[in-house]
Structure 1
């Protein structure tokens, strides 16, 4: 299993515009083969932060989805990004 998680930082005045521009991406990802979860969401505390979380069955599924994308919408510039890829060997229910 692959998890992509982290944060994107934009100017607080641009956050809603950024999220509106990528709103369709979550639906496309969640309908893609191997996608277990996908969300880009406004952080409830930091006004310019967008939280990113994706969960995929395999690297191949993630790569196939990323390669299938069309042109990206005109997005506001990022101030910074800290997103990481995690390879998960085992999953346990809590």
Structure 2
């Protein structure tokens, strides 16, 4: 299964559904950069992530390091169990 990524400039939400692994990392990175470049990205919704590996984790860490034009951090929200498990295993603080 591949990832389905959808960005709504109206809500500032980049939603990820499906796997976020090495096989989707390039596409996910492109979507993230495009959404960030729009100046509208506010948060990344992870409720639909079914699998996460270290490549996907790198994408999430990149997203978490970004700041909006108002200098507010982009937030990772609604982590799925798969996201929580990997974040905990990596010793990283929880997302919202």
TM more than 0.5 = no
**Quick check: which one's strand share is greater?**
1
**Quick check: which one's helix share is greater?**
2
TM-score, length-scaled by structure 1: 0.30
TM-score, length-scaled by structure 2: 0.30
| Structure exhibiting the larger radius of gyration computed from Cα positions | 1
Higher RCO (CA 8 Å, separation ≥ 6 residues): 1
